[in-house]
Structure 1
Amino acid sequence: MKRAKKGQGAKAKLRDYFLANVGKVLDSSTLQQVADGSSEWARRIRELRNEQGMNIKTHNDLGELKPGQYILVDLKPIPAFERAISKETRAYVLDRNGFTCQMCGAVAGEPHPYDPSRKTRLHIGHIIDKSQGGTDDPGNLRALCSVCNEGAANITLERPTSDKLLAQIRRAPGVDQLKVLEWLMGKFPKQAMDLINKR
């Protein structure tokens, strides 16, 4: 396998590596190494596809690929998309989503629940990916943490219903149930007081 050149940024290294391996299935661990171990390697690949028009496919696009596998199908460019999300729109979406990841519930600035070694950083992600016709309209945008955003390209997940959430909470130990109660009372203090006063 050809290696990427030294002295380049992660995106440039990934681009060179894909170009040197057109038509070959590449796995995520190799690509992360090519990107010098950057935690943003998957995002850089999405940028190559969405902004530079590289015809990179994943298991979401091709059934024969497994999760974590990528392939640059050919050198024919696909329509590229610019980053057109304004600062105002980003601020609106983050505020609307309560500065909380809409996939895992991690809160900006707090230790990430799935990776406590790093603090949660939020990004703006598309619900319907631009490669599938999605727009930059706020209704198609959501806050995503960097952990979820790395694996969220072209994935649209439904939010859990209250019945599913309650089923999970009922299964949790009492200590965790109390943490959920504390969080809900902090998020909805007025409604919590109204419920207490009704008793």
Structure 2
Amino acid sequence: MANGKTPRGGARGKLRAHFLANIGRVMDSEELRVIADNQSEWARRVRELRTEEGYLILTHNDRSELKPGQYLLETAKPQPAFERAISKETRAYVLDRNGFTCQMCGAVAGELHPYDLTRKTRLHLGHVIDKSMGGTDDPSNLRAICSVCNEGASNATLTRPDLQKLLIQVRRATSADQLEVLKWLIAKFPQQAAKLT
């Protein structure tokens, strides 16, 4: 464009096209950053492809053979996705309630970011409980979060359960849900699962 800015959705569209052209190939964060024209929010665009468009883009959280910063699209067929349903009024309310300050690192909107002095702080809305884990778009489940924290947030702020609590939750689940957990574990650790059989 004439003003040098990428059109709205441009980086996301480029990333979508790149993933679809490279189904089954592991890509790293540097490759994806270049595809997105070095936009600082490339990781957010990848999350939007997962959560809003339903593309099954896997990371090290999904497959043990993937390292942090590696991504893999297994299929071109999107899964059911979440719609972006946060109104402008809700956004304004949450930002005002949070004092236009990132609720993770304390950075203030418009000021130089304390952990990245090369850019000013931009705030977004983040979910306290992620939508993928049953969270809603209700203001009580939303918080202001800056671009820097948002790039690596993806459920990272949730307390990790210890083994005993995790096993208790699995035991309490229905048999159908327990089978889904088993399928997920086998898919994440295929080599280890093969050794068990």
SS at match of 1:19: helix
TM superposition shift of 1:157: 4.0
Q: Percent identity?
A: 74
1:175 counterpart residue number? none
Deviations 1:83-138 (A, max 9, x none): 10011111121122221111111111111001112111100011222222221111
Residues 1:120 and 2:121 aligned together: yes
Residues 1:109 and 2:89 aligned together: no
1:162 counterpart residue number? none
1:11 counterpart residue number? 12
**2: distance between equivalents of 1:54 and 1:140?**
24
**1: distance between equivalents of 2:58 and 2:135?**
17
TM-score, length basis structure 2: 0.71
**1: distance between equivalents of 2:155 and 2:73?**
16
2:75 counterpart residue number? 74
SS at match of 1:92: helix
CA gap of 1:63–1:134, structure 2 versus 1, over 3 A, is farther
Q: Give the number of equivalent residue pairs.
A: 152
CA gap of 1:32–1:63, structure 2 versus 1, over 3 A, is same
1:26 counterpart residue number? 27
SS at match of 1:85: coil
2:139 counterpart residue number? 138
The amino acid that maps onto 1:23 is: G
Unpaired runs of 5+ in structure 2? 1-6, 160-197
Residues 1:88 and 2:89 aligned together: yes
The amino acid that maps onto 2:30 is: S
CA gap of 1:98–1:61, structure 2 versus 1, over 3 A, is farther
**2: distance between equivalents of 1:55 and 1:96?**
34
TM-score, length basis structure 1: 0.71
TM superposition shift of 1:31: 0.3
Unpaired runs of 5+ in structure 1? 1-6, 159-199
Say which one has the larger Rg.
Answer: 1
Deviations 1:14-44 (A, max 9, x none): 1111011112221101100011111121111
SS at match of 1:136: coil
CA gap of 1:92–1:60, structure 2 versus 1, over 3 A, is farther
The amino acid that maps onto 2:53 is: Q
TM superposition shift of 1:53: 1.1
The amino acid that maps onto 2:119 is: R
**2: distance between equivalents of 1:59 and 1:103?**
23
The amino acid that maps onto 1:77 is: P
